[in-house]
Amino acid sequence: MKKLMSFVGALLLAFFDPVYVWLTNWMHRQGLMLAASSFPNGTIFSIGSAYGAAKVISDISNANPGVASSTAHGFTDGDILVLTSGWPMLNGAVIRVDGAVDDAFDIEGFDASNTTLFPDGGGAGTAREVTSWVSLSQVTNVATSGGEQQFYQWQYLEEKTQRQRPTFKNARSMTLTVDYDPDMPWHAALLAADQLGTPHAIRATLPNGDVILYHMYVAYDGEPSFTINQNQQVTVSLSYDNPRSQRYSAAP
């Protein structure tokens, strides 16, 4: 009887486990999961390797989401753009287009309604579409650093406790460790980005299909490690241009 029960249990697990995984991912995409945790296993990083011509943005509305005015921009919903803007929090952001019409488009997920942070008339700039991506394979580790809040501290003579006031957050960076292979397309793409010395769009596609977009400087010399009995590896150092990433749900 115990063997039979074990067999039945294993059979049920084999059937329901993939169903549970599929259902959980579907609920994530639909926004039905109130709280969840996940492993990053399966995430694919990519670097933007080609960009379209810059299109002028004459204004961005103080709305949620902000609406960019751009005559005959040619963008369609789902396009990924790199923006410049007079608003520092939007300058260098990588965003997704939504609600595109002939001369305007929504900056999906960007709330520009606070006129203190986003002064009226100050958001003008440019938009460039990321037209091609190169995936980074053989990534064995991703390390992040920075973002820690710093403080100015002082104490008054008549007080026994110290006071503090927030000042700035440390610059953020990310380091990818990759198994070395100079024949992979990413090797040439990373070398080119390093030599240009300009920030590039970086995309992390998560296992559930969501994407996180960054604008980063790339440091990569392509020189492999020589540690005995270990795979030769290279490191890709990425430093944030715009200090905030933008996450989007999987495209429907």
How high does pLDDT run on average in the chain? 90
Q: Residue 35: its pLDDT value, please?
A: 53
What is the rounded average pLDDT of the residues 89-116? 96
> What does the buried/exposed string (b/e) look like for 199-232 if buried means 16 or more CB atoms within 10 Å of the residue's CB?
bbbbbbbbebebbbbbbbbbbbeeeeeeeeeeee
**Please, what sign has the CA dihedral across residues 176, 182, 186, 190?**
positive
**Does the structural domain 50-132 have CATH classification 3.40.640.10?**
no
Domain boundaries in the chain?
A: 1-37, 50-132, 135-248
User: pLDDT digit string (tens) for 139-164?
Assistant: 999 999 999 999 999 999 999 999 99
Would you say the CATH fold of 135-248 matches that of 50-132?
A: yes
Is the pLDDT reported for residue 8 higher than 50?
no
Contact 243, 236 (CB under 8 A): no
CATH topology of domain 135-248: Elongation Factor Tu (Ef-tu); domain 3 (2.40.30)
In this prediction the pTM is: 0.83
Q: Residue 221: its pLDDT value, please?
A: 95
User: pLDDT digit string (tens) for 22-56?
Assistant: 655 666 555 555 456 788 999 999 999 999 999 99
Q: Residue 13: its pLDDT value, please?
A: 47
Residues of the chain with pLDDT > 70, as a percent, come to 85
What is the rounded average pLDDT of the residues 60-85? 97
Q: Residue 27: its pLDDT value, please?
A: 60
